[in-house]
A = this chain, B = another copy of it.
Amino acid sequence: MADQKKQGDSKGAKQEFVQHLTPRSVDFAQWYTDVITLTDLVDYAPVRGCMVVKPYGCALWERIKEELDSRFRATGHQNVMMPMLIPESLLLKEAEHVEGFAPEVAWVTQGGKDTLQERLAIRPTSEAIFCAMYSKWVQSWRDLPLLYNQWCSVMRWEKSTRPFLRTSEFWWQEGHTLHETPEEAQDETLRMLEIYRQVAEDALAMPVITGRKSESEKFAGAVATYSIEAMMQDGKALQAGTSHNFGTNFTGAFDINFLSREGVLKHPYGTSWGASTRLIGAIIMTHGDERGLKLPPQVAPIQIVVLPIAQHKEGVLEGAKAVADALANAGLRVKLDDRDTVSAGFKFNDWELKGVPIRVEVGPRDLAAGQLVAARRDTYEKITLPIEGAPEKLRALLADIQRGMYETALAFRAAHMKTVASLDELGEAAQNGFAKAMWCGDEACEDAVKAKTGAGTRNMPFDQTPVADTCVCCGKPAKHVMYFAKAY
Which residues from chain B contact A455 at a C-beta distance below 8 Å? none
Residue of B62, B113, B119, B122 near A79 (CB, 8 A) is B62
Which residues from chain B contact A62 at a C-beta distance below 8 Å? 79
Q: Is the contact region of chain A dominated by helix, strand, or loop, or is it mixed?
A: mixed
A55 close to B (CB within 8 Å) = yes
A263 close to B (CB within 8 Å) = no
Report the nearest B residue to A150, measured CB to CB: B58
A365 close to B (CB within 8 Å) = no
A91 smallest CB distance to B (angstroms): 11
| Interface hit among A41-49, A305-313, A343-351, A476-484 | A41-49
Which residues from chain B contact A83 at a C-beta distance below 8 Å? 45, 47, 50-52, 169
Which residues from chain B contact A137 at a C-beta distance below 8 Å? 43
| Interface hit among A102-110, A218-226, A327-335 | A102-110
* Centre residue among A59, A111, A148 by max chain B CB count within 10 A: A111
Q: Report how far A137 CA is from B108 CA in the complex, Å.
A: 31
A480 smallest CB distance to B (angstroms): 34
Which residues from chain B contact A203 at a C-beta distance below 8 Å? none
Report the nearest B residue to A136, measured CB to CB: B43
CB of A78 within 8 A of CB of B107, answer no
Residues of chain A from 36 to 95 with CB closer than 8 A to chain B in the complex: 43, 45-47, 50-55, 57-59, 61-62, 78-87, 90
- Give the number of residues in A that approach B within 8 Å (Cβ atoms): 55
A412 close to B (CB within 8 Å) = no
A129 close to B (CB within 8 Å) = yes
Interface residues as binary, A291-327 with B (CB distance below 8 Å gives 1, 0 otherwise):
0000000000000000000000000000000000000
A133 close to B (CB within 8 Å) = yes
18 extra A-B contacts, CB within 8 A, seeds A107-B111, A109-B109: A43-B137, A45-B133, A46-B87, A47-B85, A47-B87, A52-B82, A55-B78, A55-B80, A58-B78, A58-B81, A61-B81, A81-B153, A81-B171, A103-B113, A107-B108, A108-B108, A122-B122, A152-B153
A–B Cβ pairs within 8 angstroms, 26 of them:
A43-B133, A43-B136, A45-B83, A50-B83, A51-B83, A52-B82, A52-B133, A55-B148, A57-B81, A58-B78, A58-B80, A58-B81, A61-B81, A62-B79, A81-B153, A81-B171, A84-B155, A103-B113, A106-B108, A106-B120, A107-B108, A107-B110, A108-B109, A109-B110, A111-B157, A122-B122
The interface of chain A, by Cβ under 8 A from chain B, is 43, 45-47, 50-55, 57-59, 61-62, 78-87, 90, 102-113, 119-120, 122, 129, 132-133, 136-137, 142, 148, 152-153, 155, 157, 169, 171, 341
